[in-house]
Amino acid sequence: MSARIVTVFGATGTQGSSVVRTLLADGTFTPRAVTRNTNSEKALRLKALGAEVVQGDLWDVPSLTNAMNGAEGVFGVTDYYDPKNSAQGPTSEVLLGKNLVDAAVASGVKFFIWSSLPSCTRVSNGKYQNVYHFDNKANVDDYLQDSQLPHAILHTGWFSENMWNLSYLTLTSDSSSYELTIPKYDPNSPQYFAWIERDLGQCVLALLKHYKDDSAHILGETFYVVSDKMNYTDYANVIERGSVLLSARVDP
């Protein structure tokens, strides 16, 4: 029986690594991890775990089709904040997402999972425009739906990993506690949180296992990856219970 290959983009990032590690642990699918630098420390770590690691660049369409060759499924993600992408303009991410879709169509991929976000412009009826890291991905949603490629779309909550990836959780000057500093939100603002490392891969795995089942109603649908909903004060309390004393503060 031939391997059921799933090509995972952004494999050394927060989202992609969650998917690769989950697929490896489950064993139903064979992950093919895509990264620009196959000799990076993170890429070598994935190789050591047993993943196939291949080179691919979202700006290089032939590299994408090569990475998807023989794959049953694809997990696609783009990074608005990648300096290489942002240097090409605030909407360059749309082109990269379209490159992924085009390559998947050309490669005969049977199921494409797209990590996206809702359009702030549409949801706010035009009040909040040019929130590019949201709207770009939503524009790719439209292109994906028009492509007729069998797919599902994932919307993630606020990454719990932002605490350390974006340095929102910091040690106080007297080293007596940690401080959770969240710009643009007050302590009582509700938020949908996603623990990406733990939960995203499991969501992707569930979709991959059931996309062929018509009764599951997966194809063409949008699903939400949310680990919990709470305000930031409650979030700080959760962290405190699991670690050391932590205080919550909100920047103006």
Give dist(CA 61, CA 236) in Å, integer: 43
- Tell me the pLDDT tens digit for each residue of 55-104: 999 999 999 999 999 999 999 999 999 999 989 999 999 999 999 999 99
- pLDDT score recorded for residue 244: 52
SS3 label, residue 215: helix
Beta bridge partners of 190: 231
Give phi and psi for 168, each to the nearest 5: -80, -20
DSSP-derived secondary structure letter, 216 = G
Give dist(CA 108, CA 143) in Å, integer: 17
- State the residue for tokens 């991905």: 137
Mean pLDDT by 10 residues, the chain (252 residues): 94 98 98 98 97 97 98 98 92 98 98 97 95 96 97 96 87 81 83 96 98 97 97 86 57 42
Q: Is the dihedral of CA 77, 82, 87, 89 positive or negative?
A: positive
